[in-house]
Structure 1
Amino acid sequence: MSGFATGSTSKPRVLFVDDESRILDGLRRSLRVKRNEWEMAFAVEGAEALEMLARDPYDVVVSDMRMPRMNGAELLTNISREHPHIARVVLSGHVEPDTAIQVAVAGHRFLTKPAEVTSLIAVIEQMLFRTSSAHQDAARRLAGGVRAIPTLPEHTERIAALLAPDASLTGAVQTVMHDVGLTAKLLQLSTSTFFGARPRNSSIESIVHAMGLPTVQAVAGAGHELRSTEPWDPEIEQHLRVAWRHAMATASLAGSMASPANRPYAQAAALMQDVGQLICLAEIGADQRAGLDLAAGSRDGVPFRDVGVELLHLWGLPAPVISAVAQRDRPHTPDPSGLGVAGAVRVAHLLIRQTRPGGPETDAHAAELTALLSHPQLAAQNLDWRESAASAAREAGL
């Protein structure tokens, strides 16, 4: 592990913020076992924390929510703007619903008090890890400042309908499943007891039903308020529109290919396969394209995929989802006992690509596709998967 704020030869730095001195004293005692591995600092209010961040670099901030003068949501929002490379962890007791939504936007991970010290250490260790071996700090900066993933302009009517007083839970499920940002955010929140933790392989539909319409509307509304009203660059908007339709078609096909236990993972990973593109390209005007390379799929030399994987890691999405997104463009040899999440996403992605006009020739990846399609998990279903791919592509508008 490297790429810490203080350099690869220094210890990672963690800042704890809480207005109760006894809480900070308890953290000092319980985390003494990490004193040889981390440099730890403690602040009793948000203003003091910001002063410390201005003086010295840190890798992770762990903050309470209910503090006087500057609450935790305000502190973490400031950090997301001024220090996007810093991972933001919420450690708090009961919070009111309105504050919980602010937390959902401002933080990366969420823990409730009193937290088991092993759980706190595990989360901090995860936050210190960088998923990109070649672009550690750059990928973290681009991903770390993201509080809400943008919605394509053509989907704003769906969001407006979700926020309307007569919205239904059934409609909410469809809106979430058509929006990468809402899918990712609800998966992030679904692992926290703040929002009623669910099993990690829960489907989007079950998560929406468990959270309830008011919470889903509040999360969607908070994200909507963060989005720019400036018109998108037409070329970039079209590029992202095609990527989104490809993701929808891939999610439909991968869901059919995956085992029942892996289906929610495969659908989520397929839907979010190009989340890095959305982060790096969305809401960029024609005069802000310096550093973008659409052909290479990078921004400032950092691959879009590295940025997307880093964000999903920061948000704590399930490991099979992150792994499948990271491995989408790598040749895949599945285990004979099961196709796996990454295998389902990979084969679905390749098949959907071949249905697109002007896409790869049909013999591209021919040997790999033949091997994947002959896998017992797919062969047993006795389906024409190429025709299924063509149908999924048509339904997605490709």
Structure 2
Amino acid sequence: MAFVSDGAEALELLAREPHDVVVSDMRMPGMDGAELLTAVSRRHPEVARVVLSGHIEPAAAIQVAVAGHRFLTKPSDADSLIAVIEQLLVRTSGAHRSEARRIAGAVRAVPTLPEHTDGIVGLLAPDANLAYAVQMAMHDVGLTAKLLQLSNSRFFGARPRNSSVESIVNAMGVPMVQAVAGAGHALRPASAWDPAIEQHLHMAWRHAVATACLVDFVASPANRPHAQAAALLQDVGRLVCLATAGEERESAVDLASETRDGVPFRDVGVELLHLWGLPAPIVTAVAQRDLEQSPEPSGLGVAAAVRTAHLLIQRTESACSAAGSQAGRDDELARLLAHPQLRAQDVDWRRAADEASHQAGSWRRRGRH
């Protein structure tokens, strides 16, 4: 461990020696915490960023929310601080540890897709209501991720760890959601997007929204909040890798292999959700979406529920071609649909998948206007 007295010294130290984690106060003379952590994210993205601070103004809190990965309030006991640092020393990608952390660590917020720009602008309007805030949060990957990050931090007022996105928005209120959306979303004009990448991202987004609609019926009530969040965030790695690749001159994206600089999109997404401290069931379900599941008879669990919904949506118009071939998955899907949890429901699952796909397509068309 190394200790310095201000932000400028911290940046000098990081330039001289590699470190894994930086823990910063918010209020400091000269360079404040938000300034320091923003500079660290740009110059040393591989360094995990932790805020340790007392009560601060809401506007400043949102700045920190964008710049930091984890948040602790003062006074904070040593065990809590140690636990956070130890969590951040873990890399989720075994094969691409350093590169996955570097790419994920540079992400301060998930960019908004062009067709969602009008929706975010509407959310920022003075007359935006709670129902509209909930709708936007449940259809925007970046806003979902940030709200989940903040909701799991005592820095912003702790809520139950299995809260749904809807309940988080209701608890935070419209002004806080507007502040998060305004600070965290890069509203780029449509002309700034490569058409091929934009089409690829739209496909992944529609698949995610359709999966989230369907998993509402597949998952048990206890697992539903985590399953819905995991479904929406299942391709967050693809989104940040493709949407931000052009910001780094030497960055290379390969759509065929679904990698950026040789790192799988999924590894980047899982690393990002881990850095942001999202609940383990969500991170695990995102990591295991493409893995065959064999749930216990007592319940599907979050990962198997998301996997089931994903495989069903792959048979609809909301299929994501980049999510792998359906070939060889028929037997697995049949086993999952025969699970006692799903057999107990009088549901035509393939028809339910078609309806979820239609809902996602309808919302996209509304979003364009």
TM over 0.5: yes
Q: C-alpha distance in 1, partners of 2:45/2:309?
A: 34
Q: C-alpha distance in 2, partners of 1:227/1:121?
A: 37
Aligned residues: 358
Tell me if the contact between 2:318 and 2:357 (Cα under 8 Å) persists in the aligned partners: no
Tell me if the contact between 1:250 and 1:345 (Cα under 8 Å) persists in the aligned partners: yes
Equivalent of 1:272 in 233, 236, 241: 233
| 2:199 aligned residue | 238
Q: C-alpha distance in 2, partners of 1:141/1:109?
A: 16
Q: Is 1:156 aligned with 2:120?
A: no
Q: C-alpha distance in 2, partners of 1:143/1:268?
A: 19
Q: C-alpha distance in 2, partners of 1:234/1:69?
A: 43
Q: Is 1:86 aligned with 2:59?
A: no
* Residue 206 of structure 1, CA deviation: 0.8
Tell me if the contact between 1:132 and 1:310 (Cα under 8 Å) persists in the aligned partners: yes
Q: Is 1:365 aligned with 2:329?
A: yes
| 1:388 aligned residue | 352
Tell me if the contact between 1:355 and 1:389 (Cα under 8 Å) persists in the aligned partners: yes
Q: Report the secondary structure of 2:345's partner residue.
A: coil
| 1:53 aligned residue | 14
* Residue 228 of structure 1, CA deviation: 4.4
Tell me if the contact between 2:54 and 2:73 (Cα under 8 Å) persists in the aligned partners: yes
| 2:94 aligned residue | 133
| 1:8 aligned residue | none
Q: Report the secondary structure of 1:91's partner residue.
A: strand
| 1:259 aligned residue | 220
User: 1:70-110: CA deviations, max 9, x gaps?
Assistant: 00110000000000000000001111111101111110000
* Residue 390 of structure 1, CA deviation: 1.1
Equivalent of 1:334 in 295, 301, 313: 295
User: 1:143-171: CA deviations, max 9, x gaps?
Assistant: 00110101100000000000001110110
- Residue type matched to 1:198 in 2? R
- For residues 156 and 357 of structure 1, do their structure 2 counterparts lie closer, same or farther at Cα, with a shift above 3 Å needed? closer
Equivalent of 1:109 in 49, 64, 70: 70
Q: C-alpha distance in 2, partners of 1:66/1:288?
A: 34
- Residue type matched to 2:52 in 1? L
Q: Is 1:196 aligned with 2:157?
A: yes
Unaligned stretches of 5+ residues in structure 2? 363-369
- For residues 154 and 288 of structure 1, do their structure 2 counterparts lie closer, same or farther at Cα, with a shift above 3 Å needed? farther
- Give the % identical residues: 68
User: 1:264-311: CA deviations, max 9, x gaps?
Assistant: 000000000000000000155599696211121111110000000000
Tell me if the contact between 1:247 and 1:271 (Cα under 8 Å) persists in the aligned partners: yes
| 2:25 aligned residue | 64
User: 1:168-225: CA deviations, max 9, x gaps?
Assistant: 011000011110000000000001122111001001111011111111101100013x
Equivalent of 1:220 in 162, 181, 191: 181
Q: Is 1:377 aligned with 2:341?
A: yes
Q: C-alpha distance in 2, partners of 1:299/1:248?
A: 24
- Residue type matched to 1:395 in 2? Q
| 1:397 aligned residue | 361
- For residues 88 and 243 of structure 1, do their structure 2 counterparts lie closer, same or farther at Cα, with a shift above 3 Å needed? same
Tell me the TM-score normalized by structure 2: 0.93
| 1:303 aligned residue | 264
Q: Which stretch has the larger CA shift, 159-168 or 277-286?
A: 277-286
Q: C-alpha distance in 1, partners of 2:343/2:182?
A: 44
* Residue 41 of structure 1, CA deviation: 0.5
Q: C-alpha distance in 2, partners of 1:375/1:271?
A: 23
Q: How does 1:279-358 map to 2 (within 5 A)?
A: 279-284=240-245, 291-356=252-317
Q: Which stretch has the larger CA shift, 361-370 or 104-113?
A: 361-370
Tell me if the contact between 1:280 and 1:304 (Cα under 8 Å) persists in the aligned partners: yes
Q: C-alpha distance in 1, partners of 2:34/2:130?
A: 28
Q: C-alpha distance in 2, partners of 1:91/1:253?
A: 39
Q: Report the secondary structure of 1:397's partner residue.
A: helix
Bigger Rg, which one:
1
| 2:366 aligned residue | none
Q: Which stretch has the larger CA shift, 163-172 or 360-369?
A: 360-369
Structure 1 stretches of 4+ with a deviation exceeding 4 A read: 226-230, 283-290, 357-363
Q: C-alpha distance in 2, partners of 1:283/1:102?
A: 20
Tell me if the contact between 1:231 and 1:285 (Cα under 8 Å) persists in the aligned partners: no
Tell me if the contact between 1:105 and 1:148 (Cα under 8 Å) persists in the aligned partners: yes
* Residue 261 of structure 1, CA deviation: 0.8
Q: How does 1:176-195 map to 2 (within 5 A)?
A: 176-195=137-156
Equivalent of 2:136 in 175, 185, 200: 175
Q: C-alpha distance in 2, partners of 1:245/1:235?
A: 16
Q: C-alpha distance in 1, partners of 2:318/2:155?
A: 46
Q: C-alpha distance in 1, partners of 2:247/2:197?
A: 9
Unaligned stretches of 5+ residues in structure 1? 1-39
- For residues 276 and 173 of structure 1, do their structure 2 counterparts lie closer, same or farther at Cα, with a shift above 3 Å needed? same
